[in-house]
Amino acid sequence: MTIQTVPTTAFADQKPGTSGLRKKTPAFMKPNYLENFVQATFTAIGGAAGKTFVLGGDGRYFNDRAAQIILRIAAGNGAARVIVGQGAVLSTPAASHLIRLNKTDGGIIMSASHNPGGPEEDFGVKFNTPNGGPAPESVTEAMFAATKTITEYKLLDAPDIDLGTLGRVSLGDMIVDVVDPVADYADLMESLFDFPAIAQMFANGFRMRFDAMCAVTGPYGSEILERRLGAAGGTVTHGTPLPDFGGMHPDPNPTWAHELMAEMFGPDAPDFGAASDGDGDRNMVVGRGIYVSPSDSLAVLAANAHLAPGYAKGLAGVARSMPTSAAVDRVAAKLGIAAYETPTGWKFFGNLLDDGRATLCGEESFGTGSDHVREKDGLWAVLLWLNILAVRKESVAEILAQHWAEYGRNYYSRHDFEAIATDKADAMMSALRASLPTLPGTQIEGMTISAADDFAYTDPVDGSVSQKQGVRILFADGSRIVMRLSGTGTEGATLRVYLERYAPGPEGLDLDPQDALAPVIRAAHALAGIGPHTGRTEPNVIT
């Protein structure tokens, strides 16, 4: 086995986004494409020599072969050790945990998250830093710079190694530890939550459905829910990870997790339903006959987290992305703790978590998590809900009703207009931005606009400033419209319209959100001219 220096030419399109490099799988499978990106990653972090990394992915098509290539490049660059999930599989939160637990120099995660997988679908690679979180912009910029100047990469000339068997093997001088992808993560969950209380609830007949969507959380759900907590066999559905996710779009929202929604709203609905995404960091929670919006979920979790042993001492603070509803702010105010408002993107929570300012974080995009790892964590959120249900011994519907009675209800919905021509979407946003100074004081749909701006964020820890993070139109009655273009869409532009209206109660707390928000929706269409600009009058996804 020798280390080869392989000549290569740069690819112009390897700029990592917020979640690493994502492309169609055939693009990743082009000769040298993955090799170049991994070499550039090692170059950007000052080399791999003598370092230890974690490696794993969500098991999508090409995951297994990509892992072998990444290992050979790591060995070629002199890495000392790589900890790999068995079968090259790790959920994103489990990878984050292993990076931290083993005090490694970071990790490489192979995933395109909730995007479909398969020979013609999506693949992705991202680098997480030693804190367990996604690489910050300074690192991804250095990676991109290295992809543009690369002329060669180092590769250990060696055959594939067996990643299916647990244990230690050598790849040249590099150690490869193949570990159980689930065990350490499950232990972490057991250290945070009251497993005996949850197990007792299942023993008493509590029924749950966890839809793993043929993605990575199947084995995690089976081990934790069915084996450790004693939930009935069959609690986990679509529990076998498949390279193409069985053709499912593994994104846990009411549109894509429609099978779960149908069951939870059907005649024999279980007590509790949940789903996670391709790589296990997103979650959706549903009660019997009641959908829990991610913004409400975050607020309920913040209000009740102290019921779980891992959070019994209370929360240091909470953080939410700007478009997420203000429901959690009301909880923070009552608890007397700080509430941070960040731009969209989990990376903005990293400093707040590292600095001990926030314990719980969440986004309207089905992401919830805490300082236990540095990624959002789907199963963690599900287990915190289960812990709360086990202690309070009430239904999801009862818990939500009591929450709204206490804090009032932030009616909330997100309307997505996908695959708009990029120039049309940009023109619409420019016109809207230009109109902002004229809006305050004007009336629409019987509501007065009190403020209108483009959200900017100054990180309280490192002082960095992020501009133009989304247009906000605030109304005197507490209602709010936010509009921004998605940073993760793959086809044209996706317009996201976030709608919120506050009802203090006690009257009017149990309306259909789309009805409660009707005037705000009409105002959004009128103020932005969505129809005239884009030709679209109806969203194609509503969450």
Residues classed as catalytic? 113
Neighbours of 350 (CB within 10 A): 22
Say which entry of ligand G6P, Zn ion, none residue 277 contacts (CB below 5 to 8 A, set by partner kind): Zn ion
Contact flag: residue 277 with Zn ion (CB under 5 A) = yes
Query: Which range in 51-59, 270-278, 379-387, 448-456 contacts Zn ion by CB under 5 A?
Result: 270-278
Phi, then psi, of 307 in degrees rounded to 5: -75, -15
- Name the β-bridge partners of 370: 360
Cβ pair 260, 368 in contact under 8 A: no
Q: Per DSSP, which regions of 90-190 are E strands?
A: 107-110, 122-128, 152-156, 167-171, 174-179
Contact flag: residue 363 with Zn ion (CB under 5 A) = no
What is the DSSP-derived secondary structure letter of residue 439? -
Q: Which of 482, 485, 495 is nearest to 523 (CA)?
A: 482
CB of 343 to ligand G6P, least distance (A): 9
What is the DSSP-derived secondary structure letter of residue 244? T
Nearer of residues 283 and 479 to Zn ion, judged by Cβ: 283
* Concatenated DSSP letters of 82-117: EEEEEEEE--HHHHHHHHHHTT-S-EEEE--TTS--
Q: Using CA atoms, how far apart are residues 99 and 89, in angstroms rounded to an integer?
A: 14
Cβ pair 94, 221 in contact under 8 A: no
Q: Which of 526, 334, 338 is nearest to 449 (CA)?
A: 526
Nearer of residues 357 and 496 to ligand G6P, judged by Cβ: 496
- Name the β-bridge partners of 325: none
Instruction: Kindly state the number of chain residues that form the binding site for Zn ion, as judged by CB under 5 A.
Output: 5
CB of 241 to ligand G6P, least distance (A): 19
Q: Using CA atoms, how far apart are residues 413 and 232, in angstroms rounded to an integer?
A: 34
When binding is defined by CB under 5 A, the residue of 113, 237, 359, 413 that contacts Zn ion is: 113
Tokens of 335: 């608890």
Cβ-count burial 12-25 (b if 16+ within 10 Å, e if not): eebebebbbbbbeb
Could you say which residues in the range 472-491 bind Zn ion, by CB under 5 A? none
CB of 367 to ligand G6P, least distance (A): 6
Nearer of residues 496 and 533 to ligand G6P, judged by Cβ: 496
Nearer of residues 346 and 502 to ligand G6P, judged by Cβ: 346
Q: Using CA atoms, how far apart are residues 466 and 60, in angstroms rounded to an integer?
A: 33
Nearer of residues 8 and 18 to ligand G6P, judged by Cβ: 18
Nearer of residues 325 and 344 to ligand G6P, judged by Cβ: 344
CB of 446 to ligand G6P, least distance (A): 30
Query: Which range in 223-231, 258-266, 269-277, 530-538 contacts Zn ion by CB under 5 A?
Result: 269-277
Angle, helix 518-528 to helix 422-435, in steps of 10 degrees: 100
Say which entry of ligand G6P, Zn ion, none residue 279 contacts (CB below 5 to 8 A, set by partner kind): Zn ion
Neighbours of 308 (CB within 10 A): 23
CB of 1 to ligand G6P, least distance (A): 38
Nearer of residues 277 and 363 to Zn ion, judged by Cβ: 277
Tokens of 367: 């992401």
Give the H/E segment covering residue 71: helix 63-76
Q: Using CA atoms, how far apart are residues 305 and 193, in angstroms rounded to an integer?
A: 10
When binding is defined by CB under 5 A, the residue of 105, 281, 329, 377 that contacts Zn ion is: 281
Say which entry of Zn ion, ligand G6P, none residue 19 contacts (CB below 5 to 8 A, set by partner kind): ligand G6P
Q: Using CA atoms, how far apart are residues 303 and 315, in angstroms rounded to an integer?
A: 10
CB of 19 to Zn ion, least distance (A): 8
Nearer of residues 122 and 281 to Zn ion, judged by Cβ: 281
Give the H/E segment covering residue 38: helix 33-44
CB of 484 to ligand G6P, least distance (A): 7
Cα atoms in the Cβ-side hemisphere of radius 13 Å centred on 132? 24
Cβ pair 525, 420 in contact under 8 A: no
Q: Using CA atoms, how far apart are residues 154 and 159, in angstroms rounded to an integer?
A: 15
Ranked by CB distance to Zn ion, the top (closest) residue is 113
Contact flag: residue 122 with Zn ion (CB under 5 A) = no
Q: Which of 197, 126, 153 is nearest to 36 (CA)?
A: 153
Cβ pair 45, 106 in contact under 8 A: yes
Cβ pair 313, 371 in contact under 8 A: no
Contact flag: residue 279 with Zn ion (CB under 5 A) = yes
Nearer of residues 111 and 235 to ligand G6P, judged by Cβ: 111
Nearer of residues 57 and 539 to Zn ion, judged by Cβ: 57
Give the H/E segment covering residue 444: strand 443-444
Query: Binding residues for ligand G6P, per CB under 6 A?
Result: 19, 113, 344-346, 363, 365, 367, 486-488, 496
Residues at the contact surface with Zn ion, assessed by CB under 5 A:
113, 277, 279, 281-282
